Structure 1
Amino acid sequence: MRALQWFGPRDVRLVDIAIPEVGPDEVRIEVAYCGICGSDLHEYADGPHAIPIGTPHALSGRTAPLTLGHEFCGTVVEVGAHVTTLRAGDRVAVEPEYRCSRCMYCRIGSYNLCESMGFAGLMGDGGMADYAVVPSYMLYRLPDTVSLRQAAVLEPAAVALHALRRGDLRLGDTCAVFGLGPIGLLLVVLARLQGASTIVAVDVSPERLAKAVELGATHAFDARAYDALALNEAIRAATGGPGVAVSFEAAGLPSTFESASRALRKGARLVMVGLMPHASFDAFRAVNDELTITTSVGYRHAYDDLLRMVEAGVIDPASIVTKTVTLEDAVSGGFDALLNDRSQIKILVAPGLEPGLAAHSTPLSRTSPMLT
């Protein structure tokens, strides 16, 4: 079969490998779609960051080179001898977090904090291939009305839902989302569904700001048009003066973290979703204003709820997809496109899409009447 494998930074190759065998507790799926995530881009651009080199991952047993892609879905083609919950022909979404089921965190249900936590597609073989083999616990059968295209974007939607829960966003709250990549845009969607009264979106891309307004943001600010003080004043004016009840930092930049902190009212909460090596904050103000700074990693117990939302038609995670490419075009048309074109948000790799066919692309609009 074909597989897109990581060999080193800027060295991702489409190779022919043997179809992996299925263990007793595993399932083989024919991959329909696999999204390219920001984590994949980091590995491609200047990795390794999470990909194991030398020492195999504790649960996958894999080291580089390995098959990329943790945002994937497909159709079951073979199940292991111990698997009784799935059968060939089932359409499934993949929740790609590895878990040991033995450590303290797994036993209390916080499996995203497993002592051996990792992701298929980063710490083990993933979905940028014709077929993928994963533990059966990763798979969720799709309702008939949920498309495989929607299922491909459940993973970033789960990240956003878990972050929303960590922020304890409540009906009528004001909030701000800093960074409008896939996670940030899905946070806008979920905040609207949660009943937030004001949703401020902040980014440097006009296309992404316009998309945020389309998805439910009440205010959108291009950070390039403001200095730090002016941006804070604009956000406070949008919320009636005191600032927001919850800020979500989804860009992974120290400067964005500072802006997200500055935008908080007293007693508010900041959720760190983006990854950054270091961040600083005004500890004096944090204590005096009784601020809460929390973090969010991965997800737990999110897929069932998301599938119900999609089935009910209240959320369409595929609304952020801007392009679909073949495996052959995944590097130049996918990875490089995301690094160089801010109008691209979520690009899906479709192994079944024949080479030479035109890739589906829906560029984002640059205009919005609510954009400020």
Structure 2
Amino acid sequence: MKALAVLENEKLGVIDLEKPENTTGDDVLVKVVYSGLCGSDFPRMFEHQAKFFPVVLGHEFSGVVEKVGEKVHKLAVGDKVSCIPLKPCFKCEACDEGNYSLCKNYGFIGSRENGGMEEYVKIPEINLQKLPEKFDLLQGAFFEPITVVLHGLGLLNKEVKGKKVGIIGVGTMGLLAVQCAKAYGAELVSAFDINEKNLEAAKELGADEVHNVAKKDIENEYDKYDIMIETSGANPSFVLILKLAAGKGELLYIGTPHSTLTFEYKDFELINRKELTIKGSWMNYSKPFPGKEWTEAIRLFDEGLVKIDKLIGATVSMEEFCERLEEIKGRTLGGKIMVKVGESE
């Protein structure tokens, strides 16, 4: 079978691997159809952070069940599925408490073991979310990122309904957050970014206001938002979010920084002066595994409350991915890169 693999840092290729055949126990063989490229994959491809070589990335993928082991009871051949990539140990204190994202002894499909950018993947039944038959498999490839947003929202003390919500960074995560905030009844949803195309997409997907922080004076937006959500991971956003939040506001950090952060004392002091509550969010799971985030994603898609067409920058084959590697590295394509791995029928 074909697989798109990171062969060494900054070098990718399409290689041949042996197709998994011995599907026993709770294992499920999935024929992969779509696999999305996550921002977390970039360091693995370009910043020497791959766990091993060659590694097949892809933890945001969907496909169709081809074979099941004798202990598989909830899935059948032909079912549409989405990958649940975390493999908690289920033995530690964090797992016992349902904090699977905090497990220290975890495995992860698409980084610590090969993922969905290959034609077939054999994984345990517990790591698959069954999709309604009517769902498009493209939707299935967005389950992992939307559940990241839903997990973060679930950590908030405040309900989104009736609140003013600001979202900094409207790439894939931010655009999903915009739609979720609207679905949950926010009074106002404002999107902040430096990319006009992203802001246009946010407006089309329901944002009430959009603000280009590179071009527009946004001081009149300061002290306005009950809830601020940071999804970009860009260093300036970690400061700006403090200024935009209203007194007693709640801040949710989903994006992660990639270089040292420095705060002026007057900016950091806003945490005290505004009596802000700051929450960090990591991954997308709750008890019982994988959690309510995953069933809620089904509802949002089923009711048409979340759209994905504006989130996709390009859909490419494995070979085209390699040919366009420089564009992908430079992030010039815009939007989520989807790899079409196989056909659904």
TM-score when scaled to structure 1? 0.84
Cα offset, 1:23, TM superposition: 5.0
User: How far apart in 2 are the matches of 1:259 and 1:137?
Assistant: 40
8 Å CA contact 2:243–2:270 kept in 1: the answer is no
State the SS of the aligned residue for 2:214. Answer: helix
Cα offset, 1:89, TM superposition: 1.2
Which position in structure 2 is the counterpart of 1:64? 53
Which position in structure 1 is the counterpart of 2:13? 13
Listed one character per residue, the Cα deviations across residues 132-166 of structure 1 (whole Å, up to 9, x for unaligned) are: 11221111111122111111111111111112222
Which position in structure 2 is the counterpart of 1:120? 109
State the SS of the aligned residue for 1:293. Answer: strand
Change over 3 Å in CA distance of 1:252–1:19 after alignment to 2: same
User: How far apart in 2 are the matches of 1:323 and 1:223?
Assistant: 26
User: How far apart in 2 are the matches of 1:203 and 1:248?
Assistant: 12
The 5 A counterparts of 1:169-180 are: 169-180=159-170
Change over 3 Å in CA distance of 1:280–1:166 after alignment to 2: farther
8 Å CA contact 1:337–1:344 kept in 2: the answer is no
Which position in structure 2 is the counterpart of 1:266? 247
Listed one character per residue, the Cα deviations across residues 189-216 of structure 1 (whole Å, up to 9, x for unaligned) are: 1011111111111111111110001111
Which position in structure 2 is the counterpart of 1:27? 28
Decide which moves more: 24-33 or 100-109.
100-109
Cα offset, 1:341, TM superposition: 4.9
User: How far apart in 2 are the matches of 1:123 and 1:98?
Assistant: 10
CA RMSD of aligned residues (A): 1.9
Question: Which residue of 246, 258, 261 corresponds with 1:279?
Answer: 261
User: How far apart in 1 are the matches of 2:40 and 2:241?
Assistant: 22
Change over 3 Å in CA distance of 1:336–1:234 after alignment to 2: farther
State the SS of the aligned residue for 2:73. Answer: coil
Which position in structure 1 is the counterpart of 2:315? 324
Aligned amino acid, residue 116 of structure 2: G
Which position in structure 1 is the counterpart of 2:149? 160
Cα offset, 1:118, TM superposition: 4.3
Segments ≥4 residues shifted beyond 6 Å: none
User: How far apart in 2 are the matches of 1:15 and 1:285?
Assistant: 52
Unaligned 5+ segments in structure 2 are 286-290
User: How far apart in 2 are the matches of 1:291 and 1:122?
Assistant: 35
Cα offset, 1:268, TM superposition: 0.8
* Aligned length, in residue pairs: 331
Aligned amino acid, residue 32 of structure 2: V
8 Å CA contact 2:327–2:333 kept in 1: the answer is no
Cα offset, 1:39, TM superposition: 1.0
State the SS of the aligned residue for 1:329. Answer: helix
Question: Which residue of 235, 248, 259 corresponds with 2:229?
Answer: 248
Which position in structure 1 is the counterpart of 2:210? 220
State the SS of the aligned residue for 1:15. Answer: strand
Cα offset, 1:280, TM superposition: 4.5
Change over 3 Å in CA distance of 1:332–1:160 after alignment to 2: farther
Corresponding position: 1:76 with 2:65: yes
8 Å CA contact 2:176–2:306 kept in 1: the answer is no
User: How far apart in 1 are the matches of 2:109 and 2:80?
Assistant: 18
Question: Which residue of 123, 128, 133 corresponds with 1:134?
Answer: 123
User: How far apart in 2 are the matches of 1:146 and 1:329?
Assistant: 26
Cα offset, 1:235, TM superposition: 1.9
User: How far apart in 1 are the matches of 2:145 and 2:272?
Assistant: 33
Aligned amino acid, residue 96 of structure 2: R
Decide which moves more: 319-328 or 20-29.
20-29
User: How far apart in 2 are the matches of 1:150 and 1:115?
Assistant: 30
Change over 3 Å in CA distance of 1:317–1:100 after alignment to 2: farther
Change over 3 Å in CA distance of 1:313–1:68 after alignment to 2: same
The 5 A counterparts of 1:67-106 are: 67-106=56-95
Aligned amino acid, residue 91 of structure 2: R
Unaligned 5+ segments in structure 1 are 53-62, 237-241, 354-372
Fraction of identical pairs, as percent = 29
Corresponding position: 1:313 with 2:294: no
Cα offset, 1:257, TM superposition: 0.7
User: How far apart in 1 are the matches of 2:77 and 2:280?
Assistant: 39
8 Å CA contact 2:226–2:245 kept in 1: the answer is yes
Which position in structure 1 is the counterpart of 2:280? 295
User: How far apart in 2 are the matches of 1:346 and 1:262?
Assistant: 29
8 Å CA contact 1:208–1:343 kept in 2: the answer is no
Aligned amino acid, residue 171 of structure 2: G
User: How far apart in 2 are the matches of 1:181 and 1:123?
Assistant: 25
Which position in structure 1 is the counterpart of 2:288? none
User: How far apart in 1 are the matches of 2:316 and 2:25?
Assistant: 33
Change over 3 Å in CA distance of 1:312–1:77 after alignment to 2: same
Cα offset, 1:234, TM superposition: 3.5
Listed one character per residue, the Cα deviations across residues 307-333 of structure 1 (whole Å, up to 9, x for unaligned) are: 122122222335422321111112334
